[in-house]
Amino acid sequence: MAQAPLVIDGNEILPGTNVKFELPVAKLYTDSDVSLPIHVFRSKKPGPTIFISAAIHGDELNGIEIIRRVISNPKFKVLCGTLIAVPIVNVYGVVNQSRYMPDRRDLNRSFPGSAKGSLASRVANKFLTEIVSKCDYGIDLHTGAIHRSNLPQIRANLKDEETNHLAQLFGVPVVLNADILEGSLREAASHTKTKVLLYEAGEALRFDEFSIRAGVKGVKNILRHFGMLRKNKQKNPSCAVANSSKWYRANASGIFNTKVKLGDKVEKGDVLAEIGSPYGNVINKVIAEKNGIIIGQQNIPLVQEGEAMFHIAFFSEEDDDIVEHIENVQEQLLPELSGGLDQ
Ligand SMILES: [Zn+2]
């Protein structure tokens, strides 16, 4: 059996070829052309078609580096099926170092979009019809918002058995069942029967080495699972699947001191942060309402009432086991920070 034909934007990509090309989107008003860089790796041997995408939010840069590290090795070869790498989806946002499109829309709320719609709607529609709809699976790489960091985590529809299995195979510390947001890529992909994992790690506009390495390893784990890369002997650490999660918000405006960090265990009643006035007095404390693990937090120490400060995930397993598991993953991926290299 041969690979089914693959045509992207009128270009037929033949089995056994690696092709780099530009998918044109709307020009800038300066008359400069704008296009999405696409890299397709296609084996002669049949197998699934998978996309990996990054920077749908233009200020989320870790994913660009994750894709670069996966495909830049000259020895990188896909052994079956097809890999479509799209390192910069919101190319306008990356140029402006902004999460949004120039029309101030969120590209990840503009799916499925339309060829005649707003700028965001057109880009969403082109990415959906030319790339996503042609794939069986996809991995979409994100980071926290500006001034917010996420512990490496996969968000996916865990009610779907295969997606759940893939989410766990990715091998990052935490897996969360995430509701599908209206207008998101995941919502549109559910209609094209493309199973999508969403990877969230690190902070906008920054590289975070742990998040990048965990992402590279995760992408490779998924490709290995489908036989698209050679299997390795390394055993993946098991991951922890959260039952639910919650953002804790500030009840006062001020300057805050954080008492916890990403990956920490917190118990009901623990103080997560103290919010103070610029004159020194504590005006409010953010308190954990139940036991859980910090999977996201605000980094800038200035907060306004109502702002989301800590994202805490809740598990049925013992929280101590999860903290140990997170530390193990960290040690495995960043031995230089855990003293592994100087021993
Ligand atoms: Zn994002």
pLDDT along the chain (343 residues), means of 10: 87 95 93 95 97 98 98 94 98 97 96 96 97 98 96 95 95 90 96 96 97 96 96 75 94 96 95 94 95 96 96 89 86 74 42
CA of 156 to the centre of ligand 1 (A): 14
pTM score = 0.95
CA of 343 to the centre of ligand 1 (A): 38
CA of 215 to the centre of ligand 1 (A): 14
Predicted confidence at residue 339, as pLDDT, reads 52
CA of 279 to the centre of ligand 1 (A): 36
- For residue 130, the Cα-to-chain-centroid distance in whole angstroms is 21
CA of 260 to the centre of ligand 1 (A): 24
CA of 10 to the centre of ligand 1 (A): 29
Alpha carbon dihedral 292, 297, 303, 306, in 10-degree steps, equals -50
CA of 230 to the centre of ligand 1 (A): 30
CA of 145 to the centre of ligand 1 (A): 7
CA of 203 to the centre of ligand 1 (A): 10
User: Phi, psi (5° rounding) for residue 151?
Assistant: -70, 140
Q: Count CB atoms within 10 A of the CB of residue 125.
A: 19
Predicted confidence at residue 336, as pLDDT, reads 82
CA of 342 to the centre of ligand 1 (A): 36
CA of 70 to the centre of ligand 1 (A): 20
CA of 37 to the centre of ligand 1 (A): 19
Predicted confidence at residue 93, as pLDDT, reads 97
Predicted confidence at residue 341, as pLDDT, reads 45
CA of 144 to the centre of ligand 1 (A): 7
CA of 58 to the centre of ligand 1 (A): 8
CA of 307 to the centre of ligand 1 (A): 18
Gap between the Cα atoms of 147 and 251, Å rounded: 19
